Structure 1
Amino acid sequence: MPRFISAENLRRFWREGREVALFDLREEGPYAEAHPLWAVSLPLSEIEVRIEALVPRRSAPIVVYDDGEGFAAAGAARIAALGYADVAVLEGGLAAYARVGEVYRDVNVPSKAFGELVESIRHTPSLPAPEIKAILEREPNVVVLDSRRYEEFTTMAIPRGQSVPGGELVYRVHDLAPSPDTLVIVNCAGRTRSIIGTQSLVNACIPNRVVALRNGTIGWTLAGLEVETGRTLRAPEPSEAGKARARAAAARWADKVGVPVIDAAGLDRLIADSDRRTLHRLDVRTPEEHAAGHPEGFVSAPGGQLVQATDEWVAVRGARLVLYDTDGVRARMTASWLVQLGWETYVVEAGALAADARPAPRKVRDFGLGPDDFVAPATLLAEPSRFVVFDLARSPAYRKGHIRGAWHASGPRLADQVAGEQARGLAAGRTLVLTSPDGELAAANLAVARAAASGDVRVLAGGTAAYAAAGGRLDSQEAHWLGVPDDIYKRPYEGTDNPRAAMQGYIDWELQLVAQLANDGIAGFHVVR
């Protein structure tokens, strides 16, 4: 029997600043409809693949929950089997929590709520889309800095925009706007990254006037204005003079906020203490810089996205974070926000650590399976009628390209779907083969499928990618669903085909987050003036 913890005791952990990770084991769709502030989405089927990165300390307290689906007990057992010693189930699940605390919709909620709090306290300057459009049409001395990820920028952008992800703004702005008379406009898709990016430049005391595009590309679209697609302009590497100005500005602001800066010996002390306190080592430079070389143990977490979506890297509220850069700017500016978000955050002094020239590529895990547990892509290609394929990819990846005839399966509901009448009919006389993009997720869930199946179940070696590499054609036209997919929350601020009502509803929701935070009382944020 699993151990239980009440919602009241869980909330006490947060109020007291004690370490605890809270995992929602449902799919992302229902998670985005309602969850506690500090809950992290970890679907049941993804536990073995993702939890080690999210909770590196095996003795860290972990709490799991569902909303009556029956995932929590199974998830607690799977987490404990990985060596985690302190795992509990939230008593009464989400419904019990909702009786004593606020539940939130959407994803990356702590960062979005914090962004709204920053704007309300700091009065971050912004202008509505029609005013921005008029400025762009009449003023030549303007730069538009898009603070989203590059992939989002190329999907849609406002006129004259160039890609400068949020963590790069202070680092690169002095070369992008060398004249103090240049107006700097910062935008994102919605509100948070525009607010945080604009306020970062204000905090760095650049001499320029800086404004956010109010409500981002959503506001632009709702105003009836056209976005541009396929833009590729990226900010260049800053000059030495630009870097020097940025370092001075970042140091001043980080000192004001109280960001601790440590040397290599200081990092060694934190590592030595990591069996008692959870420690994350995060490289906040661009993904390309990280791929070219980084110190051992540091994972890629670009600074702007780390502030925007901390829960994608860190699940344990109360953990320690150590940030790395090579310039003395990006780690300090990122840390300044994380400290205000309530994270114990340190910066490694630039130059204190050596980077590996050529880091080893990530190895796909097989979770201890043997040769007889796999089907080779060549075998599937040569004798397709012998097999029925269940694909555990997230539904967008499945739609983009899957093995012809493969059925999309829900990871958390895999056992029920494998045991269902439809699956029994499909697998009659055939071997059931699990696949996923690289095969890792499929391998992690083989035991679950075998326990539910009446026949032979195996894993496609190397997953769908290996099948394609072996010459297999992927299908993006005909889809087969074992159930209605709810594994993805359709973000109203990404893509160009969002309904106007969804975009307006998203903005309305963001604007009420400060009130919801105040009613909840467990955020632990402090905005430095």
Structure 2
Amino acid sequence: MPTDEFEFIDAPGLEALLLGNQRFALFDARDEGLFAKSHMLFACSLSLADLEARLFRLVPWQRTLIVLTSEEGDGMAARAARRCLGLGYSNLRLLRGGNQAWQRHGKSLFRGIHVPSKAFGELVEAHYHTPMIEAAELHDLMASGAKVRVFDCRPPNEFHRMSLPTARNCPGADLLSRVPAMVDHDETIVINCAGRTRGILGAQSLISAGVRNRVVTLKNGTMGWHLAGFPLESGRSDLVEPVDPAQLDGVRRMAANLRERFGIAVLDMSAWLSQAEGEPAGRPLLLDVRGPWEYQAGHLPGSRNAPGGQLLQATDYYVAVRNTPLLLADDDGIRASITAAWLLQMGLRDVSVLDHRDMSRHMTESGPACWLPARLIPPVDTVDAPRLARDMEDGTTLVLDLGSSDDYYKGHIPRSRFVMRSRLAHSVPALPRLPCVTLVADDAVTGAFAAREIAGRYGAPVRLLQGGRQAWREAGLPMQTGLEDAVDPPEDMWHIPSSPLGGLDSAMRDYLSWEIDLAAQVAREPGTRYSVGDRPDPSPRAPAPPAPAQAAGPRN
């Protein structure tokens, strides 16, 4: 595939960018399942599957430098560059030689996803000696009736999938503002996640803030609990409710101490409103660290939702432009302060918080945000679920499912075919020819762009199922499980080790070993700026002498 229309950057040039102060984004254009097998440490996954739906959220300013990479010779980076260009982004570079050129330059490739954040969790545990409790010890304490309270710091959807018996759900950034008020002083607080990172950061957040209870993290989380032979529960929803604001004075003092310790500035609302009217390139990225349900109920114009615990666990999913200033917002000053303190220790240099006291008056937007300008979204015809069922019965439509392979495996429209958008050029010609095609997509933006692409390749009208797979289910129509009708392999995403597609017990053991070993591996890479326990060092940090280039991590 010709690439002469784009400029290139070589591996030494990219290393210089990583060591410098220029704002830029580094994207790997492959599907997440392939990305997870081997990628550059600071590359963010931005696949062809949902590039249009995510790019404007990740890169608000269209003149930002974007570097695109993929496997050498696969053409993915050039395809992504053309899509970026079509959306108005023109400051583009392709990494000459792709990921293999980075290896030839003496650098490493890494397996897994969100590697910088997970390595940070291990560094935090090593620095602070965050106390851990083994699954067997916790099980014995719970069985004996000891005064112990378990809080699962993952998002509600993950808690619903699997949780420890008696555990309550309190997402990471909410722990300090909710947990201390609901436990007795002599109760042990146990924080868990699925593996290690979020549990370590959650427990250490409480300890560092000055909570006087004994606080520990469950070693290896729900995976460790399962591998120790103890049962997990599924289908539960037990979210810890917010505490009366009158009870938060002590916690607010703890948050203020964190801000003072790490030099976190507080920006008043009038200063932010002034910045918001200026040149986009000069603005900080405004991240609302509250839960998605709170954000959708009302948020500041221009803010992006990045729940605090998840922002720390998957920083590269929310923040793609390196060296961009961050401004964190919440409605109590607590969640933003805790999150900012950790981000600064992670090496993000310019992180401040927005004064929450006048926030509610300015929350003039609600609902989920769509960052892509409407004028760029192609028009597409839609069909409702009952009509689609009739058309399928008549044999007049081919149904293609563009959602995740994990969701498809768990339940999809009978006879629908799972396809990956990145592979349409290969899969569409082999599909049976019917009068029209109906797409099932996770979001309407991705569906609209895919419809235009498939129409050109298939040569028949293409429409989109209104409401997607959920609308089909809510109409009481049958679902089918498994991958028997999949056209493409399930390489669109990284499958969690505890899932059937992720490998189950053996994959869990591999994952936990990989996570523990990360800290030493990432230290050699250019651009690492971890400063655990200290105020951030404003100077760029050169890498340690290189180790032999290799891919490090679990098979997942």
Q: Is the 8 A contact 2:119 2:518 kept in 1?
A: yes
Structure 1 residue aligned with 2:37, among 33, 38, 46?
Answer: 33
Q: Aligned partners of 2:502, 2:52: CA distance in 1, in Å? A: 34
Match of 1:201 in 2: 206
Specify whether residues 504 and 379 from structure 1 end up closer, same or farther in structure 2 by C-alpha distance, changes over 3 A only.
closer
Which residue pairs with 1:275 in the alignment? Answer: 280
How far apart are 1:234 and its partner, in Å? 2.6
Query: Would the alpha carbon gap of residues 413 and 257 (structure 1) be closer, same or farther in structure 2, given more than 3 Å must change?
Result: same
Q: Using a 3 Å threshold, how does the CA distance of structure 1 residues 496 and 439 change in structure 2: closer, same or farther?
A: closer
Local SS of the residue matching 1:505 = helix
1:450-475 CA-partner distances (Å, limit 9, x unpaired): 4433x224222636359638958353
How far apart are 1:274 and its partner, in Å? 5.1
Provide the rounded CA distance (Å) in 2 between the counterparts of 1:435 and 1:3: 36
In structure 2, the partner of 1:522 is 527
Q: Which moved more, 1:205-214 or 1:223-232?
A: 223-232
Q: Counterparts of 1:199-278 in structure 2 under 5 Å?
A: 199-272=204-277, 275-277=280-282
Match of 2:79 among 74, 77, 84: 74
Q: Is the 8 A contact 1:63 1:88 kept in 2?
A: yes
- Residues 115 and 195 of structure 1 are in contact (CA less than 8 Å); yes or no, is this contact kept in structure 2? yes
- Equivalent of residue 52 in structure 1, options 53, 56, 61: 56
SS in 2 for 1:62: strand
1:369 aligns with 2:357: no
Residue 123 of structure 1 is matched in structure 2 by: 129
What secondary structure, in the 3-state scheme, does the structure 1 residue paired with 2:408 have? helix
| Structure 1 residue aligned with 2:355 | 349
Amino acid at match of 1:121: H
Any idea what the Cα deviations from partners look like across 1:222-280, whole Å, max 9, x if unmatched?
Answer: 22222233443332321345311110001101210111110013213443555324632
1:220 partner letter: W
For the residues of structure 2 that align with 1:417 and 1:186, how far apart are their CA atoms?
45
Would you say 1:296 and 2:301 are equivalent positions? yes
Distance 1:278 1:494, change over 3 A: farther
Give the counterpart letter for 1:197 in structure 2: G
**CA displacement at 1:349 relative to structure 2:** 0.8
Aligned to 1:331: 336
Match of 2:187 in 1: 182
* 1:390 pairs with 2:400: yes
1:138 paired to 2:144: yes
State the superposition RMSD in angstroms.
2.6
Query: What TM-score, normalized by structure 2, do the two folds share?
Result: 0.87
Instruction: Tell me the distance in 1 between the aligned counterparts of 2:486 and 2:283.
Output: 40
- 1:337-393 CA distances to partner (integer Å, 9 max, x unpaired)? 1111222212111113324367256569684534xx525347645544232222211
Distance in structure 1 (CA, Å) of the matches to 2:354 and 2:340: 11
Shift of 1:210: 1.1
Structure 1 residue 95 and structure 2 residue 119: aligned?
A: no
- Equivalence for 1:114: 120
Secondary structure, in 3 states, of the residue corresponding to 2:49? helix
Query: Residues 18 and 431 (structure 1 numbering): CA distance in 2 closer, same or farther, change over 3 Å?
Result: same
Find the residue that maps to 1:23 and give its secondary structure.
strand
Identical aligned residues as a percent? 34
State the Cα distance separating 1:43 from its structure 2 match.
Answer: 1.3
Secondary structure of the residue aligned to 1:351 is helix
Tell me the amino acid that sits aligned with residue 66 of structure 2: I
Q: 1:521 to 1:477 in 2, by over 3 A?
A: closer
Where does residue 23 of structure 2 map in the other structure?
19
Aligned CA distance change for structure 1 residues 137 and 241 (closer, same or farther; 3 Å)? farther
1:414 aligned residue: 424
Distance 2:317 2:273 in 1: 25
1:160 paired residue among 166, 174, 199: 166
1:504 maps to 509
User: Mean Cα displacement is larger for which, 196-205 or 398-407?
Assistant: 398-407
Matched residue count: 520
SS at match of 1:520: coil
Compare 396-405 and 63-72 and name the one that shifted more.
396-405
CA distance in 1, matches of 2:168, 2:197: 18
TM-score (norm 1): 0.91
How far residue 496 of structure 1 moved from its aligned partner, in angstroms, is 12
* Aligned-residue offset at 1:113: 0.6
Contact 1:158 1:217 in 2 (8 A): yes
Q: Is the 8 A contact 1:57 1:274 kept in 2?
A: no
Q: Which runs of 5+ in 1 are unaligned?
A: none
The offset of 1:155, in angstroms, is 2.3
- Deviations, residues 283-304 of structure 1 (Å, cap 9, x unaligned): 1122222222222222322111
> Matches of residues 423-434 of structure 1 in structure 2 within 5 Å?
423=431, 426-427=432-433, 430-434=435-439
Extract unaligned runs of 5+ from structure 2.
535-556
| Alignment partner, residue 308 of structure 1 | 313
Could you tell me how far apart the structure 1 residues matched to 2:237 and 2:475 are? Answer: 32
Question: Secondary structure at 1:322's aligned position in 2?
Answer: strand
Q: Distance in 1 between matches of 2:500 and 2:181?
A: 30
Matched residues in 2 for 1:509 and 1:135: separation?
A: 29
Moved more, 315-324 or 497-506: 497-506
SS at the partner of 2:301? Answer: coil
Partner-residue secondary structure (3-state), 1:208:
coil
Change (3 A) 1:113 1:470: closer
Aligned to 1:464: 468
The 3-state SS of whatever aligns with 1:412 is: helix
Matched residues in 1 for 2:260 and 2:424: separation?
Answer: 51
Post-superposition shift, 1:520?
Answer: 1.5
Question: What do residues 194-238 of structure 1 show as CA deviations (whole Å, max 9, x unaligned)?
Answer: 110111011101111211111112222222222233443332321
Matched residue of 1:140: which SS?
Answer: coil
Distance 1:470 1:165, change over 3 A: closer
Q: Is the 8 A contact 1:438 1:465 kept in 2?
A: no
Aligned equivalents of 1:185 and 1:496: distance in 2? 30
Does the residue aligned with 1:276 lie in a helix, a strand or coil?
helix
Rounded to whole Å, the distance in 2 between the matches of 1:379 and 1:232 is 34
Contact in 1 for aligned 2:174/2:335 (Cα 8 Å): yes
- The answer to whether the 8 A contact 2:451-2:462 is kept is yes
CA distance in structure 1 between the partners assigned to 2:533 and 2:497 by the alignment? 30
Q: Letter of the aligned partner of 2:257 in structure 1?
A: R
